[in-house]
Each structure stands twice: as structure tokens, then as C-alpha cells.
């Protein structure tokens, strides 16, 4: 399964509960930024786009991109949000020996004390 970034700009004041439910239906998801989700799925970017497109309105914008393993960096997230990133974005087999503050964790193939 791959991790995809889903970003959107939506009309303010509209109800997007169906879109949120469609994103959550992928099962493994992260939503710690207002208009950004990460989802883990075996679907393709086109399949995800086509599925989510049914739940947005004309004039809304939607971006779906596959995450390429190997580089991720973040700052300022809660432990739960940072743990999801660490557990789902890091290259399989990579070992992190010590991370004191996951909210300040940075990953680019090497451990950083950011």
C-alpha cells in the first residue's frame, strides 16, 4: 500500500461531510492540517481523485499525490500526529535510535535533533 497526500481548497460555508467520510473510509488516514490528509491505500491517485471528486463541488480544487518514500520532515505536531507520520512515512527497515521530541522530528534518511 502507498501513502497519498490529498489537499483541497473548498467553498467556505458548504457541507463536506461526505468528503470527510470518503477520506476516512480509506481506513488508515492522517488529518492534522486543515485542508490536508494523508491516506494509506492500494488505490491509484486517479482512483482516489475520481472517488473524492464525487464529494466536492464545481470550482473546488483537489490534489492527490503519491508519497515517495525516503524524505519527510515535520514540526509542531502533537505526539499522535507525529507518531502516525513516523510509523507510515519512514522507509521500511529504517531504525530510529532516539527521538526525544517527536513533534520536532525530522526525517531525511538520517536522524536529526532539529
Same domain, residue pair 59 and 80: no
Whole-number percent of the chain with pLDDT over 70: 78
Contact 11, 60 (CB under 8 A): yes
CA–CA separation, 62 vs 5, rounded Å?
Answer: 10
Same domain? For 28 and 59 the reply is yes
For the entire predicted model, the pTM comes to 0.77
- Model confidence over 46-102: pLDDT tens digits? 999 999 999 999 999 999 999 987 778 888 999 999 999 988 887 554 444 334 334
113 within a domain of the structure (yes/no): no
Domain assignment of residue 62, given as a range: 2-66
Q: Quick one: the chain helix, strand, coil %, rounded to 5?
A: 25, 25, 45
pLDDT (0 to 100) of residue 9: 93
Structural domains of the chain, count: 2
Amino acid at each position: 500500500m502507498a501513502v497519498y497526500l490529498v489537499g483541497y481548497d473548498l467553498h467556505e460555508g458548504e457541507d463536506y461531510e461526505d468528503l470527510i467520510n470518503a477520506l476516512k473510509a480509506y481506513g488508515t488516514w492522517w488529518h492534522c492540517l486543515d485542508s490536508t490528509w494523508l491516506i494509506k491505500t492500494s488505490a491509484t491517485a486517479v482512483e482516489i481523485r475520481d472517488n473524492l471528486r464525487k464529494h466536492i463541488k464545481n470550482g473546488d480544487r483537489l490534489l492527490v499525490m503519491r508519497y515517495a518514500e525516503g524524505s519527510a520532515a515535520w514540526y509542531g505536531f502533537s505526539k499522535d500526529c507525529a507518531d502516525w507520520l513516523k510509523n507510515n512515512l519512514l522507509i521500511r527497515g529504517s531504525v530510529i535510535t532516539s527521538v526525544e521530541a517527536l513533534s520536532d522530528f525530522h526525517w531525511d534518511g538520517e536522524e536529526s535533533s532539529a
